[in-house]
Structure 1
């Protein structure tokens, strides 16, 4: 059992990651829910205690998701909370008599009339090892009769609490999927629709040679097939109301992905008289859903083109780190403000810049990029020296450790 041991990894980076994980659950300051209340009641009954809590520890405060105690609080300062003490260890905290420990004898909830004399808590630990809260029991009198079976139940209840958090998160994601599918469809259909309009305008002029008509016909056919595939993807995702995006992984050479993206925007680059430089510093492979990662790369290259001026140079730089392949899309265009960077990768973000040729931007593309990259176990981020000083967008994807086996 533990009482006041210090955390072994309570670094700034650890705390930032812990808080990020906690906030993903969207549990802080949320209304009561029946299952959490039942977990707290089971803990209270198991220990024959005067009260119990399910607590979550934010940056400066502790929030009580469930409270069966006579202490009528829903949020307190972190420094006043015994939960914050218990979160310093992955073991169960057992304090049979709080008055026996100088470290907590001055705690407001220990000193108060009918205050906390007994305290036991099991940490709520995420799969990544972050302690985000506790399931705890209290009593107004010292308790020296606690048995191991009771503490084991408390540990199980903490685990059940985490499972509930995970199921809530999955449900929230699946509910949002309906909305996201519609927005993604609108976004994915925008570029093919624009292409078809441009092809129609070319045909209307009647100035194309037979050779160019054949080429244009093939482009129209391919655009139509892309639209059909987009619709099929949407229908496949919608078959199950709880379905996430279905990824079909395959081994792909990095340079092939880059070349495919470059070929897709060849005409657009020529139209704005822009130059694309490719610098691939790896001959590595990655395991990805090629269609989805093509969407990611196309989106980033499309943005670089839209937010760069005519005759600008755009770069795609691909490099290799210990366990990752890094893709950088670099331009010398309109750049990003600090405020812009905080808004990136959120749905319907409104940035300070507009496309240089008044191309359309609906604010959802980077949100889709982030979603798809994270589904592949990767990361996405951006940097800019400031307004009109260009920007770089990065994605990092796990590197395949061994080359694919060929016949």
Structure 2
């Protein structure tokens, strides 16, 4: 049965996109019936690993969780028979591989227990294929998929090497048979020595003829085999010269047999260090009579590749080394996969570190404004008869709530930019008006900190083709940064000048500065380079990242400069000037926030009773008639029997949710002219698109500003 994907979660399983046949099978699989649950709830480490698996052309699969639930890609699926594929997807590892579990089970347990990755070369496995057991040899690596909480799964990169293994075994068997035959011939010759001399001569001649024929036949066999293997095969004499090289090796050198045989590595164009290394290894094999194995890069006709090689001694009748034989295998792809796996592991580790640090910082920053708000409420409760105390507490709580909303707004801005959902409202605008708006936004902070602010813009008008709101936000963020990281009584400068077709805007302070090693990181997401020294200044470390993104969207750039700690900082924007035109600049004067005087009939529905009651009290104080509902069914009942000018709905209510209530209301003839607004904590572009599709006229995010509430009232009143 295919999994039914909710529209609100379909955009969150992009990590399963593509991937050929297996990608489609994973997207359609009923994961809800497995211990993993729906894909959008899966951990980020599993999602990232699945993304790697589905985009790889190399056979890979994943065992996940205590049940070792299986995932694999198209390349691995091609190695399986119809009795196992595609049934193996989502199956528990032990159920799928019961016949070889005694071998791979302990290997998996080793990795899952946190003891690290493992690598297994040419592991013999008796695998059932088409209902028949079959010996197969596999080379594979088990890598842990882990985060700070431990190991949750195993990522497997594998390769079926049965054919190579069997070929090598056949070669060894042939060598063994040849050695036995030679020994047999020696024994025959010894026995013939006691026989008649003439008979011995005749037998020797006959044996020699037979051996010559056999040797010639075997030589042809070996030549055929070695010429068609993908591995490089060769033989050195005791003077380090090649006396044999197979066809693949000659192609890699780009030389003929005549050009290569009889020469050493240096004469064949190996780099001196490379040739000297092989000379030492050959001497080591001769001296120790033991194989030598290594790995080395080489630039040949196949390009720069990584090769794994082994030199082995070949002994003569006297037990001494006669020649040194070698084989070399191209392992470039394997090394690249290992490097990618290592990079993935490093990236996952860094992502987990940043996530943990960000969540800790977010918790801290949310508590900062919440603590004084809670204290203010307690103060108002205690000092009920003291209007002055009430006024101070309200002002303080308003400031702290503004800070809390700004934190959330910054997070939403970053999310919109990263998803490409934000659009600039570019207009011809005078930079002075933008600077004025930004300075007004932070003037209270400047006065509170006792800073001096110099504005050096000049008399010439600086015209920009820009979104004035977004550029004011950029300047406000830079000024806020300067205020926060400059000790009390500091000096801050906002200056702008034109060079060619660009304006350069700088915010300069004499604050704590930036270490030289951190200048390249200040625009990274969640980066707070001065955190250890001024942690109390707070922030999520996203302000400068937001600045950089908005400036780049305007076709500009931003840079940071500091001579070091305690030497101040300079942040400079480079923006293109507007092209010459006769159009007038945009006004950025604040909108009129006068509340409409007309009596409105309003329905407020929210399962958070405190939120619903508070909004109802506010609207009632403004002179409107308000009815309350605490779930979707109650809201629909009231809408059916009443005429409302404005209906404000929470989206996540029990029973019927806000989308469902809105859809039903739009079917009611008596409410066709009613203004329908969503008031919710969900503020992404996806949620806004959904509310629009459900029939909402407006989408407000909690906590809604009084100006937004006023705009709703104006719309409902038809002003």
TM-score normalized by the length of structure 2? 0.28
TM-score normalized by the length of structure 1? 0.46
